[in-house]
Amino acid sequence: MSNTLIDTTQYQAQLDEKIARMQSAFTEFNAPELEVFPSPDKHYRMRAEFRVWHEGDDLYYIMFNQETKQKYRVDQFPQASRIINDLMPLLVDAIKPIESLRRKLFQVDFLSTLSGEVLVSMLYHRQLDAEWEANARQLKQRLNDEGFNLNLIGRARKQKIIIDRDFVVEKLTVNDRTLTYQQVENSFTQPNGKVAEKMLEWAVDCTQDSTGDLLELYCGNGNFSLALADNFERVLATELAKPSVDSAQWNIAANKIDNVQIIRMSAEEFTEAMEGKREFRRLQQAGVDLKSYNCNTIFVDPPRSGMDEGTCRMVQAYDRILYISCNPDTLKDNLDILSETHRISRFALFDQFPYTHHMEAGVLLERK
């Protein structure tokens, strides 16, 4: 099998099944009518990763069937963006005849954008040398001469060679605004660019009539923080991963936004700071006086594991809770606590991952 085919005629049927699943899973919370945000039926993934298979002089991408664990050849991948599909055959054909680029290459990762940039990471089971770097620079030039806007990274054990940048710059349209985001290799970004835009627009709409300040936990690269900044006096956002915090600072500057402050700390640490259990030098160094913030809205976009009970209890202190979830099971667990004090006033399904069982949800909760 040379292509990982998807049957686009089944797109609506798979979405309908998710809608039914989401609605039935949350009936106990008296959620309002589900707002549904579909995905394009193909070319929706901005990222893709492929293993590389060597067979004599031939070289090609493979993936593994998740059920049978059997490998299969992949020449095109309709789930991925058009840029990735256009680049896949050209890249592998350019690597094949060059020994230093192909030897012990075992994986290729692509990160693309709606704005037309692409970053390729080539992973090796050997140390990379000056010859590799010289050939990689020529490869980059050759592909850019073909019309791509491409940068390259070579990775090996304890080694990372960047030709010339290790990030892409994405431009997302939110209503009539264009927001610029630095997306760094191996950092979390929303994989479905078009659905990411819809998520931002929905969050902006939910908070349109806000007053005071916004507190945000798990802010990543500031994806939502920047889009929501116009709806609030100030935004105070926290994130633990240093590369994401660095990108968030870059994004704040790039978008000329002056009312967003990002602090590097975990949600659990921030809960302790809010409750006065601990003082954090990071807050003092950043000149953040928590008492000066007037937050009655909190935004959370936690990892798949959801929020721990302590964070849920802290979040209950806010009149409005905007919650984006990539795991409806842990969202339900968290709602068991949050629904003691709040009711769901908006409920959304974002089809970030078509043709898979994964669902992304959004809920706006308001104090009862």
Q: Do domains 8-41+190-367 and 47-168 have the same CATH topology?
A: no
For the chain, the structural domain boundaries read: 8-41+190-367, 47-168
Per-residue model confidence as pLDDT tens digits over 287-298: 888 888 899 999
pLDDT band at 3 (very low <50, low <70, confident <90, very high): low
Per-residue model confidence as pLDDT tens digits over 89-121: 999 999 999 999 999 999 999 999 999 999 999
Whether the full predicted model's pTM is greater than 0.85, yes or no, is yes
Q: Residue 138 pLDDT > 90, yes or no?
A: yes
Average pLDDT of span 39-54: 98
In the CATH hierarchy, which fold is given to the domain comprising 8-41+190-367?
A: Rossmann fold (3.40.50)
- The strand pair at 149-156 and 117-124 is best described as parallel
Average pLDDT of span 346-364: 97
Q: Residue 12 pLDDT > 90, yes or no?
A: yes
Active-site entry in 170, 197, 326, 366? 326
279 tagged catalytic: no
Which positions make up the binding site? 190, 218, 223, 239, 301
Residue 1's pLDDT is 38
Active-site entry in 55, 340, 360, 366? 360
CATH class of 47-168: mainly beta
Which positions make up the binding site for S-adenosyl-L-methionine? 190, 218, 223, 239, 301
Residue 287's pLDDT is 84
pLDDT band at 247 (very low <50, low <70, confident <90, very high): very high
Contacts 24+ apart (CB under 8 A), 328-332: 328/22, 328/25, 328/26, 328/359, 328/361, 330/302, 330/304, 330/305, 330/306, 331/306, 331/361, 331/363, 332/25, 332/26
Q: Residue 59 pLDDT > 70, yes or no?
A: yes
170 tagged catalytic: no
Burial of 196 (0-12, 13-18, 19+ CB in 10 A): buried
